Amino acid sequence: MEICLAEHAGFCKGVENALKITLQETGSGKKTITLGPLVHNDHVTRFLREKGVDAADNPDELENCTVIIRTHGVAPDILERLFQRDDLEVIDATCPFVKRVQMLARNYEQKGYDILIYGDRQHPEVQALFGWSRRKASVIEPDETGPAINNLSLSSRALFISQTTQQEAGFLKTAGELKKICPELKVMNTICKATALRQDAAAKLASGVDLMLVVGDVKSSNTCKLTKVCREITKTHQVAGAQDVSREWLVGIKKVGVTAGASTPSWTTKEVMVMLEDGNLETGTEETFSAEEGREYRPGDIITGKVVLVEDEQVLFDIGYKSEAVLPRNEVFLEGEVTLKEKYFEGEEIDLLVLKIEPQDEKIIVSKKRLDRERRWKELEEAVESGLTMKGIVKEVVSAGIIIDLSCGIEGFMPGSLVDVRYIPDFQQFLGQEFSFNVIELNRDRDKVIVSRKQMLEKEIAEQKKETVENLKVGEIITGTVKRLTDFGAFVDVGGIDGLVHISEVSWQRVGHPQDVLKVSEQVDVKVLEVIPERERISLSIRQAQPDPWFTAGKQFGAGDIIKGKVTRIVNFGAFVELIPGVEGLVHISQMADFHVKHPSEIIQEGEEIEAKILDINMENKRISLSIKKARPAPRDYSSHSPQGESENQNVTLGDVFGDLFNNGQTDNADKDQQ
């Protein structure tokens, strides 16, 4: 029997998205409740319940929880009421396509149009849509006939829209009828593309098979529509899951088609496919077998057996039936040289998949391998939906990336660009290593799994950043690593996030460029000056993490001391002299010499070592006044020797007064002073 899956089947984007949003909320610590079942599918409802997500039908039942609005949406008054409640966190997962239809209903109603909705009156999507039309819309059910339409009393302008999951043919036919009674009818085909694609694919498949199985819940509108489409073409059964498939349906069937509604999870469809594949072995010839307590076994069943005998080539299990279930060696994943005897021990209980039943000797053949593989696929599918991190071993390096062993014979491909957040030239170093990663794409029919370590690393980095920012305290001193040097400062990694040390905060000393005092990768102590969590901005200071040299200066120097220092900078009004690293004093131009100095560069040069006298230390303002001229021996006081002959001693000559100066080679300056 050939088994074919429709090209478009199962979860649509809207449902996928709503499920993802809901699962994300389960980790928030607050009770999560969906307003109505998230989708019309019992498997999904059960799955969510296991994850702690319940459904409530009435908004008044909600209390202190996160409430998820499902894909169908709700009327605006309900939404508003929920948003007004302080104890509720409202997450609107209404499908964007449904939202668009709601907006059309609201906008056109406001413009004075009559609103006509093609859909099931009782369906929550239609009820919400009715609310968006301010409860003025008329609903036309798909099987309502001409007279029902003729009874509508319409104004001259009307908008005709559809529930997103209706059949297009019926909608367009009804639009034609409506046009006859409403000349200004605006028809907007709001049937979702996902619905149309699934219906087209189902119809196409149905036309080439002997039997169609439509997987999905009877409460699901779109699944029921798929069944209707297929039934018009071939023999069709709608099943909620593998358990509903009757083997009698398959007798004489050569080709069976499978499709699934937009609310049907892939694992349910897969179970049906596996069941069909396994049943394929004996289709139409085998019986089911009853255990002594009355249980029936069928291919595809999952049973629990207790190991009773381990042989080289098979393991026998007690399953409560008159003969043991047989697990052949080739139906077990055995790693390396491991044998069956090393893997299983007597009395151990394990789950097994019933593979086939041999009627002649009533032997039940089971498989562990297929069950493990099936479960692993389910885990991977869930990981795509929930974003859970998975683990696997790097098995092979290929030109475009890395092959990861996902166990149970499944391999994942990690493209080179998704291996790390940084560029890595050679992946050979990773061979044999265990990697954590996210599953980002999965196509089970093609055995294709795409995984990303980069996504996980990015998430880890983001979390680490958040944690670092939250824990940083202004004023504390921490150790960081210099990551980058720029003209305006240095970026220092303080735990997954870079903070900026502005150039003025790099050192107590005057710094021309951060690279003059820092090196990339160097470890430095930094003081946290400012943290702005929402902008992830951190300001740091290396300078302030070190002792203030002014304290040392305050102890080491006093007014009147003669110091030696280096001229660091010359300005028009004087020169700065470094006494010790980080402490500079100013020699004012008037303190450079005993004579008039036009510019400090006439006396000293940058980089020169000089002697100066400390005139004053102002610790409060961190200022030191220096004098070069007072550090030199005091010149003789000639004030009493008047060259103009006004002194008491009229007999003193010019030679007597200036003789020393001439001898010291200061004739020019002395002349200038005279002038």
Query: Which residues contact residue 671 at a Cβ distance below 8 angstroms, ignoring those fewer than 6 apart?
Result: none
Instruction: Out of 13, 295, 465, 569, point to the residue binding ligand SF4 (CB under 6 A).
Output: 13
Q: Which stretch binds ligand SF4 (CB under 6 A): 7-15, 326-334, 396-404, 460-468?
A: 7-15
Q: Which stretch binds ligand SF4 (CB under 6 A): 11-19, 148-156, 297-305, 556-564?
A: 11-19
Residue 125 appears among annotated catalytic residues: yes
| Shortest separation between residue 141's beta carbon and ligand SF4, angstroms | 19
Letters for 566-605 (x = contact with ligand SF4 by CB under 6 A, - = none) are: ----------------------------------------
Instruction: Out of 22, 34, 45, 165, point to the residue binding ligand SF4 (CB under 6 A).
Output: 165
CA distance 608 to 566: 6
Q: Which residues, listed in sequence order, are joined to residue 626 by a DSSP beta bridge?
A: 587, 614
> If DSSP codes are grouped into helix, strand and coil, which group holds residue 607?
coil
Give the total of residues touching ligand SF4 (CB under 6 A): 15
Q: Which stretch binds ligand SF4 (CB under 6 A): 55-63, 190-198, 269-277, 327-335?
A: 190-198
20: closest CA among 438, 419, 373? Answer: 438
Instruction: Out of 22, 32, 45, 71, point to the residue binding ligand SF4 (CB under 6 A).
Output: 71
Contact (CB, 8 A) for 236 and 211: yes
Beta strands in 453-518 (DSSP E): 477-486, 489-493, 498-502
Contact (CB, 8 A) for 214 and 232: no
For residues 67 and 262, which CB has a smaller minimum distance to ligand SF4 in the complex?
262
For residues 53 and 95, which CB has a smaller minimum distance to ligand SF4 in the complex?
95
Letters for 426-465 (x = contact with ligand SF4 by CB under 6 A, - = none) are: ----------------------------------------
Two tokens at 549? 């040299």
CA distance 673 to 629: 16
Letters for 298-337 (x = contact with ligand SF4 by CB under 6 A, - = none) are: ----------------------------------------
229 binds ligand SF4, rule: CB under 6 A: no
DSSP state of 299: T
Letters for 261-290 (x = contact with ligand SF4 by CB under 6 A, - = none) are: -x----------------------------
| Shortest separation between residue 220's beta carbon and ligand SF4, angstroms | 10
CA distance 325 to 349: 13
| Shortest separation between residue 114's beta carbon and ligand SF4, angstroms | 24
192 binds ligand SF4, rule: CB under 6 A: yes
62 binds ligand SF4, rule: CB under 6 A: no
| Shortest separation between residue 45's beta carbon and ligand SF4, angstroms | 16
What is the SS3 assignment for 362-375?
A: CEEEEECHHHHHHH
Q: Which stretch binds ligand SF4 (CB under 6 A): 130-138, 191-199, 431-439, 471-479?
A: 191-199
| Shortest separation between residue 12's beta carbon and ligand SF4, angstroms | 3
How buried is residue 59: exposed, middle or buried, by Cβ count under 10 Å (0-12/13-18/19+)?
middle
CA 82 vs. chain centroid, Å, equals: 28
Q: Which stretch binds ligand SF4 (CB under 6 A): 189-197, 313-321, 378-386, 498-506?
A: 189-197
| Shortest separation between residue 44's beta carbon and ligand SF4, angstroms | 13
> Please, what is the angle between helix 96-110 and helix 13-26, to 10°?
110
CA distance 452 to 458: 10
Look at the alpha carbons of 358, 362, 367, 370 in this order and tell me if their dihedral is positive or negative. Answer: positive
CA distance 566 to 89: 66
Two tokens at 169? 């043919």
Q: What does R_g of the chain's alpha carbons equal in angstroms?
A: 43
Name the residue with the smallest CB distance to ligand SF4: 14
For residues 95 and 579, which CB has a smaller minimum distance to ligand SF4 in the complex?
95
Q: Starting from the edge strand earliest in sequence, which strands make up the sheet with 32-35, in order? A: 53-56, 32-35, 65-69, 88-92
For residues 100 and 588, which CB has a smaller minimum distance to ligand SF4 in the complex?
100
120: closest CA among 91, 142, 100, 145? Answer: 142
Instruction: Out of 44, 194, 226, 326, point to the residue binding ligand SF4 (CB under 6 A).
Output: 194
Two tokens at 379? 């885990």
What is the SS3 assignment for 307-327?
A: EEEECCCEEEEECCCCCCEEE
Contact (CB, 8 A) for 404 and 391: no
Rule CB under 6 A: which of 96-135 touch ligand SF4? 97-98
Looking at 2, 16, 80, 125, which residue is catalytic?
A: 125
Q: Which residues bind ligand SF4 (CB under 6 A)?
A: 12-15, 71, 95, 97-98, 164-165, 192, 194-195, 222, 262
Active site residues: 125
